[in-house]
Structures are given as C-alpha cells and as structure tokens.
Amino acid sequence: MRNTWIICSRELTSYFISPVAYVFIVIFLALAGGLTFFFGKWLDRGQADLQVFFIYHPYLYLFLIPAVGMRLWAEERKSGSMEFLMTLPISTSQAVIGKFLAAWIFVGIALSLTFPIWLTVNFLGNPDNGVIVTAYVGSWLMAGGFLALSSSVSALTKNQVIAFVLAAVICFIFLMSGVELVQAFFRAWAPPRFVEAIAELSFLTNFGDLSQGVIDVRDILFFLSVIAGALFVNILIVEIKKSS
Amino acid sequence: MDKLLEINGLTKRFGPISAVDNISFSVSRGEVLGFLGPNGAGKSTTMKMATGYLSPTNGKVSVCGYDVLHSPLEIKRRLGYLPEGAPLYGDMTPNSLLNFVCDIRQLNKEKRKTGYEHVVESLQLERVLHQPIETLSKGYKRRVGLAQAIIHDPEVLILDEPTDGLDPNQKHEVRQLLDRMSHSKAIVISTHILEEVDAVCSRAIIISQGKIVADQKPSMLERSSRFHNAVGIRIEAENSERCISLIESIPDVLTVEIVRNDDELVEIIVFPSNKTDILGSISNSIDEGGLKVLEMYVERGRLEEVFRELTVGGFEVGNA
Ligand SMILES: Nc1ncnc2c1ncn2[C@@H]1O[C@H](COP(=O)(O)OP(=O)(O)OP(=O)(O)O)[C@@H](O)[C@H]1O
Ligand SMILES: [Mg+2]
C-alpha cells in the first residue's frame, strides 16, 4: 500500500512537471466545452441540467484516455527506466496499481476543472445537483475503465503509437458493444448468450444510467470490475514479458 | 566465506539465440568480480537475470540465500543495481530521484541522511542535484545511476559498465569507491576497460557467446598471456644487432620480436620458453658483452591479449 502510494505520487508529480499534462487538460476542457455548447446547443435547450455535457464524454474519452494510457508502460519500456523501477523492492502489482492511480487521479483533476460549467448551470437555473454529482462520478469511473484497458495494452509494446491505436480499438469495442452495429457483427457468428454478454459489457449502456443521475450499484460495480480485471491482465502482461 | 550471490546453470534464450548458455558462478563477501566479454556476449543479460528483471529460461539465481523466483522482493532489498546505460526518470532531478529511492527502500531517517550525504559527496553530485536528469551530461547521468544503486548500502552490488562515460578523474574516484566498499559486499561489475580489472577486481570472468571461458584472478589470467615474463628492452640502434644475437643465444630464450625500429632506437621483446624468468640471464649476458641498454622491463602479461585469444579463438584456460 505504502509503495503503491509512493509510486503514484512520483508519477503524479511528473505529470505536472511536463507540458504534456497542461496540453491534455487544455484540449480536454476545450473539447468538452466545445461539444457541449456547439453540438449540444446547451444554452439553447433552456434546461438547467448537464445532460448534453455528459453525453459526449464517452466519445471524448475514446481517444483522449488512450492518449494518457499509452505512455504508462510503453514509455517506461522504451526509455529503459522500467529496468530501474522494476528492480526496486516493489511488486509488479504495486507498480501497476500505483501508475494507474496516478493517471486516474490526473484525469480526475482534468474532469474536475470543468467545474465552471457546473457553476454556470447553477447561476442560470435550479439544477438537481445530486444528478450532476452522480454523473461526474460515473464519468470518472468510466474514464477509469478506459484507462485500465489502455494501461494494460501499453504494457504489451514499447511503441506508444501502437499502444494508442490498439487501446483506442479496444476501448471502442467496450464502448460500443451494446450498439446494434457491433451486435450485428457478433450475432453473425457467436452464440446468442455470448452476444448478450457482450452487450452487458458496453460502457455506453452502463454509463447511460449514471449520467442521468440514476445510481445503479450494478453500473458502479461494472466499471470497478472492468478496472480490476484490466489491471489484473496488466500485471500478468508485465510478469509474462519478463520471460520473453 | 559466505556466498552472497550464487548463479547456477543460468540460461537465457531469445527465440533461437542463446544469449546466456548454462553459466554458473558465485561471488562471496569481499570479492569484486569483473565480468568481461565482447559485445553481445551476454553480460548484461546475465545481470538482468541476477536482479530478477528478466526471468531465466533455465537455471537458478540466489542472493543472500533467497531464490530470485520465489522471493524477488527480498532479493531486490539486498541488491543495488546499475542497469546498462543507467536509464532513469529524465524529468526528475537527482535530488528527487534519490529521495524517491530512499522512500521506496524505506530507509530510516539516519540511514537516509548518511546514505544521501555519502553518495552526493563521493560521486560529486552537489552541483547538479536540482537539474533535471535528462539535461545532465552522460557521465553525470551515470553517476546518478551509481548513486541510486549504492545509497542503501546493499550487500550485493551489480553494476553494468559503471565507469562507462566517466572522465579519468571520476573513473579513479569510482574505483576507489568500489575498493572502499568491497570488504563488506559482493560486487559484480561488467566492463570493457581491462586496466580496470587489474585495478579493482579480485577475480575476473570472461564470457563469450554466453559461455564462461575463463574464471580466474586477474594476475592468473595475465600469466596465461604469452607476454607473461617476457622482457622488453630498448637499445640504441647501432648496438641492436649485436645485442639481439647475444640474447638469442641464451638457452631459455624462445624468440625475439622487434616492436620498434627507427634511426636511433630499437625496442625488442624477448619471449622466454615456458614463460620462465629470464631477466637475470639476459642482464648477465648483456653485461658480459659490454653492451649498454636504455631500458629493460619485465611484462606481467597482457589481459587484452588473453581476452582476444579467449574470445576470438576457441582456446580455453583452466578454471581457478
Ligand atoms: N530483448 C532481447 N531480444 C532478443 N535478443 C536479445 C535481447 N536482449 C539481448 N539479446 C541478445 O542477447 C545477446 C547478449 O546481449 P547482452 O546485452 O547481454 O550482451 P553484452 O555482453 O551486455 O554486450 P555489450 O558488451 O555490448 O553490452 C546479444 O546477442 C543480444 O542481441
Ligand atoms: Mg551489456
């Protein structure tokens, strides 16, 4: 636990030393804002809620989160610092979880910097702030799911571009697995039970309720188990790669 | 003697290549083992397996009695490791990196203070403590790498080319540092600088294509060189022919090689048969012939030449 935290805080500090963090935050805020105002026509709707703000989050994350996650292990492998890190007296799981947590907290910080839009909606009307808090938490959980998937993909390669593309594809599959297009693809060859199971894995479906303020424990558990499962795979990949 | 590092039948294959092929050796407290071999011989790969960073295809590593596969953490606690090229977190400063290492290694306040002060002083890091590592020169990066490897005063030190890229003063400092630490630790260093082996190592292992081809004291290795006990002589050019024919008539002399020959000066190396000591008989016969030499010295043997013979030929010397 102690080591996980030390690694996490080291990583977190290094995010804010580099300009990458600020670039990411600015792009995230610009896109989140832009989508809400221009595509969502938030102000024109005349409703005091953040529905159109959260509705774009899955798509925003689809390429922004792999951009955060791609470097987690690929960069470490490429620069060789992994050899330094992994010969310190820490376990693989401490390293994997520590690095993931740092990235997740970083995304959380970026997400929380969208607070002006929350203030604005409170200025303009009387929103249900409970709904908004639930949606924020749901969005952060979903980001965690994408991030854990990206992190484990990143452990596969030392090439960040490959890590990014692969992660984006895998995130896309998880995001869209409930959508008719993807379902049709699986229905063509897979047994119906499998197709149903795939649909259950959809980030879109699971985020849907949360983003509307409906607290369903199953949705929360879903994201937490995606995170846990992906990090478990991440640890395995790092371990297996030792003997390659 | 307690063996702090034991390596048994270690093998690593990358696909079809055997990078390390059934290597066994052990290092005791107080020993400094020099790990030599041509590029691609498998030195770094062996070291990576010894630290647990890579898993061996076959074989066993134990550090202070702990097996690397079963108790990796116990091993990593007792080990200091400088990876090849000293890759570190470039965005950190040496100060923050060393503090991070102290945190992870859970050094108490006192050990942390002495460790930190010791490495900063002995590796002369004061000047760069607060500069990002990626902006440091190669030699300084290496020194920071060394600093993180020794800050916790580990029992076993594994250093992959520790003096690579250091200036002559720093090389000297690092060798002295290794010397001071050697009595309480087992140290393995890999190097391409053979004089370093002479200077700091109590034992040398030469590997070639993943196999050990020699495992001996450096002085013993020198003895297997054909230069061992050869006598070098510098003479004035006008006397050279007489001198050479005089020396050639000594019974124990095998051959005489001329290594330098210009207008004023001739330098020859006299090889004895069976590497016997021939200095006495040479100086006797020179005295008797009434000749004057400018300089005369006995060769101890040349590691470089032994190294070449062992790693280019297929020739093998007996193990110690
Ligand atoms: N990850 C890897 N994949 C495939 N082959 C590898 C890998 N790492 C090392 N090798 C091969 O293993 C062999 C030994 O490499 P190693 O780095 O141990 O050599 P070395 O003795 O340290 O050489 P140098 O003196 O150049 O540092 C080389 O042939 C190298 O190409
Ligand atoms: Mg090497």
B271-304 pLDDT per residue, tens: 888 888 888 888 888 888 777 888 888 888 888 8
Nearest to A173 by CA among A165, A181, A182: A182
Q: pLDDT, tens digit, for every residue of B181-236?
A: 999 999 999 999 988 898 899 999 999 999 999 998 988 888 888 888 888 888 88
pLDDT of residue A139: 93
Domain boundary among B203, B223, B243: B223
Structure tokens at B116: 């930190």
Domain containing residue B245: CATH number: 3.30.70.2250
Asked whether residue B320 carries a pLDDT value surpassing 50, the answer given is no
B53 lines ligand 1 (CB under 6 A): no
**Is there a domain that residue B310 lies in?**
no
**Is there a domain that residue B317 lies in?**
no
Nearest to B259 by CA among B250, B270, B248, B267: B267
Q: Give Cβ neighbours of residue B229 (< 8 Å, ≥ 6 apart).
A: B272, B275, B276, B277, B278, B298, B299, B301
Cα–ligand 1 centroid distance for B57 (angstroms): 15
- Alpha carbon B60 to its chain centroid, in Å, reads 24
Residues in B whose CB is inside 8 Å of some CB of A read 48, 51-57, 72-73, 76-77, 79, 81, 83, 85, 87-92, 96, 100-101, 103-106, 132, 145, 148
B247 and B141 share a domain?
no
| Residue B184 host element (H or E) | none
B188 and B102 share a domain?
yes
Asked whether residue A48 carries a pLDDT value surpassing 80, the answer given is no
Q: Whose CA is nearest to atom 2 of ligand 1?
A: B14
Range of the domain at B259: 231-299
Question: What's the number of domains chain B is made of?
Answer: 2
Q: What percent of chain B has pLDDT over 90?
A: 60
Mean pLDDT for the stretch of residues A24-29 = 93
pLDDT of residue B188: 96
B47 lines ligand 1 (CB under 6 A): no
Write down the H helix ranges in B105-137. 109-122
B11 and B69 share a domain?
yes
- Chain A interface mutation, best of B20, B63, B104, B160, highest count of A Cβ atoms under 10 Å: B104
B195 and B260 share a domain?
no
B183 and B203 share a domain?
yes
C-alpha separations of B159 from A237, B34, B78, B85, B210 in Å: 27, 10, 14, 10, 18
The distance between the two most distant Cα atoms of chain A, rounded to a whole number of Å, is 60
Nearest residue in chain B measured CA to CA from A242:
B54
A13 touches chain B (CB under 8 A): yes
B37 lines ligand 1 (CB under 6 A): yes
Asked whether residue B116 carries a pLDDT value surpassing 90, the answer given is yes
Mean of all residue pLDDT scores within chain B = 89
B237 and B198 share a domain?
no
Residue A84 to residue B83, Cβ atoms within 8 A: yes
If pLDDT is split at 50, 70 and 90, which confidence band does B105 have? very high
pLDDT of residue B93: 95
Domain boundary among B206, B223, B240: B223
C-alpha separations of B15 from A48, B9, B12, B66 in Å: 62, 19, 9, 29
Structure tokens at A119: 């203030």
pLDDT of residue B318: 45
Structure tokens at B42: 């498998």
Region of poorest pLDDT, from A75-79, A124-128, B106-110, B245-249: B245-249
C-alpha separations of A161 from A144, A235, B87, B234 in Å: 21, 21, 21, 64
B191 lines ligand 1 (CB under 6 A): no
pLDDT of residue B7: 95
If pLDDT is split at 50, 70 and 90, which confidence band does A40 have? low
Cα–ligand 1 centroid distance for B194 (angstroms): 20
pLDDT of residue B1: 57
pLDDT of residue B301: 82
**Is there a domain that residue B312 lies in?**
no
Mean of all residue pLDDT scores within chain A = 89
B248 and B117 share a domain?
no
B294 and B167 share a domain?
no
**Is there a domain that residue B183 lies in?**
yes
pLDDT of residue A111: 94
Cα–ligand 2 centroid distance for B190 (angstroms): 8
Q: pLDDT, tens digit, for every residue of A203-213?
A: 887 888 888 87
Nearest to A152 by CA among A175, A174, A170, A178: A170
Q: pLDDT, tens digit, for every residue of A124-139?
A: 888 888 889 999 999 9
B55 and B149 share a domain?
yes
B74 and B192 share a domain?
yes
Distance to chain B for A26, nearest Cα, Å:
21
What ipTM score was computed for the predicted complex, to two decimals? 0.89
Asked whether residue B313 carries a pLDDT value surpassing 80, the answer given is no
Region of poorest pLDDT, from A22-31, A160-169, B129-138, B305-314: B305-314
- Cα(A145)–Cα(A225) distance, rounded to whole angstroms? 9
B245 and B292 share a domain?
yes
**Is there a domain that residue B258 lies in?**
yes
Its pTM stands at: 0.89
Q: Whose CA is nearest to atom 30 of ligand 1?
A: B40
At CB < 8 A and 24+ separation, what contacts does B314-317 make?
Answer: B316/B213, B316/B214, B317/B213, B317/B214, B317/B216, B317/B221, B317/B224
B61 and B124 share a domain?
yes
The phi and psi torsions of B257 (rounded to 5 degrees) equal -115, 135
**Is there a domain that residue B127 lies in?**
yes
Domain boundary among B157, B191, B223: B223
**Is there a domain that residue B278 lies in?**
yes
- Cα(A189)–Cα(A16) distance, rounded to whole angstroms? 47
pLDDT of residue B303: 83
Asked whether residue A44 carries a pLDDT value surpassing 80, the answer given is no
Nearest Cβ partner for A86 among B53, B106, B148: B53
Q: Which residues of A touch B83 (CB under 8 A)?
A: 80, 83-84, 87
Element counts in chain B: helices (H) and strands (E)? 11, 14
Q: What percent of chain B has pLDDT over 70?
A: 97
Q: Which residues of A touch B11 (CB under 8 A)?
A: none
